[in-house]
Structure 1
């Protein structure tokens, strides 16, 4: 009897230790796997229209039934399995913070790095885990070896935090920023590439490319721009905040040197999680944002010297990666594009309504932007919420004015039907 009690006690301790590893909730994955039988003989495009399958995915989220959240471009909710992991790791950390955080959870970063590298399609020695795209891209922008007179090509439609980082270098060090002003939407890749290449000069050292413009959802032909830049010896930095776990691609496909993204957007990872990619041969020469004892090392981990961080948030990324794999990259991309087209195709021909986003697959996916003649974006957005409880994002930026709509995999078609009804009402108002 004593031996049996001892065995049960040890087994319980072991189970507690194993609970900190990134394993998908045992109750969540079977439902998705069972639902997959419904679509196993369908192409990703066909599966995108199977509401029975996507109903199962929707049940994995805990979104409020009192509002329709169509602003997933800012930050996405997490499936319950990810939320549970954050809470579990947080409770564990509070049992003995310095022990469980630094000796247990910190050791889990390497297995998480492998998961992210697999999803990104690159070496684990090229992936650093951080808190968001601003931190990842800021590391590159402020860490590149540039001197007075060196030039950088970027667009006025890039994300403000990135623009501000570049402008700080311009103010402090005298580098020159050459801006492209994109008239969106654009449905010709060569036109986009030409705008970038025309901005290149013999002094251009870096080009920054936003893979998907967050204001309108415009997809840029990163690989073609990067190829043109590399031919002139120009380094390539990609802002992938809105395409990682949204579009089906691998980072090396883009032929970039540096890449940053937020994982709390389309991956549905915990809020405040991000990732930096640095091509292996570029690591040594890139200075870390937070200094360490060997800032010129060729180890990707030098970009993770953040001090005390939220280990529960970081470790729960693993569950989000597993959830992504359970759906499948291509299947998810097709569903997100289908959701955008579902509402956008119904309103594009309405009087006074204008779509500011292309509906062609090469140029957009989940994100889209629309405007209504005679109404300001803020007025549209406030009416959508006050009258229909639809949460969107009003956009006024450079030459863009409209309302951004961004559904996610948990969005049911009935919610988009309500959006169409709302736009119909506003267009007739």
Structure 2
């Protein structure tokens, strides 16, 4: 990294080293690399906020990924960084050494710090945050907690995840309300198209509008702010599935203003498995009944009534907070910019490769950091296997007839070298076969 990139990425080398030291993970870095992090550097006045591959290589160094692995599957599961792994281990060790009520109380207090960090991260209040196990659980807390009855209607997107699609249709059978589905269109026809499609679908009977911020299928982005505003104007609630934006886009719920927003820790935030979040806007809390009644609730706001589900994995939730700290220290705008830049490079490279059909739109306003493509006549599963076994490139397979192919999702631990390596390998198999 050049001196001009010291602060423009949203984090200085010294600040990054301090983060590692606080987490106890500085010792995991080679001494020479740590000294490089701590060396003071000057920033060029007026330089644009950007960071080159040397900075993101330093970030990758905080993850336990194998050196030869090109991991492009953040949309499914992300690795945790060394600071997160170490926090998880230390807190679990504390509890197993002394599983007394005093230890449990200390861990619960640290869990509440994660709630505070989540609120800061999403720009809302801790009283509106529920700690969940993942997006699926969070979505189902909403679909199970609303008092919907015959005559009521829920409007959803066809490209929703099953936890925000099939969950509604199954509960509609049980409780008698209806579900209206807004069809997905590929290629993405533009934000205004979906805004108009939902505007036509919403009726006076609509009680909730549920959509995905960015789809897991082909990475289509929905106009979240405008759709939430539409729901409010029509007297309906809004549920935004943020599984593919929480942890990669600089999401600001104070601007989006959904009634419910859900996300997973194990994806883009790079937190431990079994962690997630449900945001419930203050004005929507009275409409949501708790689905599970037990012990050990949270200490503030809606967590007092909706988070008492018995024994929880406090070490994982505490480490979730460490993952958020790391992202906030690096700078969320820098992370979003980097992920978008890599995905745009993948789209451009694949689009210029003969025989490849890219399902994800090239317009950054219609996508984020997911790239889906059909590799000509190659079998997607065989291609994915060849990429992994011969090149150590991890991709997700999309089978079936609905926009089949491979899905790539780069993140903060990836570089442009990863993109070039992946494009070269795909082109090789398009020429030679698999």
- Give the TM-score normalised by structure 2: 0.87
Distance 1:214 1:308, change over 3 A: same
Q: Indicate how the Cα distance of structure 1 residues 323 and 307 shifts in structure 2: closer, same or farther if over 3 A, else same.
A: same
Deviations 1:206-227 (A, max 9, x none): 1101001011111110111122
Q: 1:201 aligns with which of 189, 199, 203?
A: 203
Give 5+ residue unaligned stretches, structure 2. Answer: 1-20
Shift of 1:326: 1.5
Offset of residue 149 of structure 1: 2.5
Residue 155 of structure 2 corresponds to which residue in structure 1? 153
Query: 1:254 pairs with 248, 253, 256, which one?
Result: 256
The CA deviation at 1:355 is 1.1
Matches within 5 A, 1:180-195: 180-195=182-197
Residues 237 and 60 (structure 1 numbering): CA distance in 2 closer, same or farther, change over 3 Å?
Answer: same
- Residues 120-142 of structure 1, C-alpha deviation per residue, up to 9 Å, x if partnerless? 10011101112111111110111
Q: What is the rounded CA distance, in whole Å, between the counterparts of 1:258 and 1:397 in structure 2?
A: 31
The alignment covers a number of residue pairs equal to: 404
Structure 1 position 60, deviation (Å)? 0.7
Q: CA deviation at 1:69?
A: 1.7
**Superposed displacement of residue 187, structure 1:** 4.5
Q: CA separation in 2, counterparts of 1:416 and 1:43?
A: 23
Which residue of structure 2 lines up, in the alignment, with residue 311 of structure 1?
314
Confirm or deny that 1:333 pairs with 2:351: no
Is the contact made by 1:152 and 1:206 (CA closer than 8 Å) also made in structure 2?
Answer: yes
Q: Counterpart of 1:364?
A: 367
CA contact (8 A) 2:347 2:360 kept: no
Contact map agreement 1:35 1:56 (CA 8 A) in 2: no
Distance (whole Å) between structure 2 residues aligned to residue 231 and residue 132 of structure 1:
30
Correspondence for 1:58: 60
Cα distance in 1 between the residues matched to 2:148 and 2:100: 39
Structure 1 length as normaliser, TM-score? 0.88
Unpaired runs of at least 5, structure 1: 1-21
CA distance in 1, matches of 2:39, 2:308: 42
Which residue of structure 2 lines up, in the alignment, with residue 415 of structure 1? 418
Larger deviation, residues 99-108 vs 119-128: 99-108
Partners in 1 of 2:286 and 2:196 — Cα distance? 32
Alpha carbons 2:188, 2:361 under 8 Å: kept: yes
* 2:16 corresponds to: none
Q: Partners in 2 of 1:36 and 1:255 — Cα distance?
A: 40
Paired residue secondary structure (1:400): coil
Deviation of 1:26 after TM superposition, in Å, equals: 6.2
SS at match of 1:371: strand
* Deviating more after overlay: 316-325 vs 83-92: 316-325
CA contact (8 A) 2:156 2:209 kept: yes
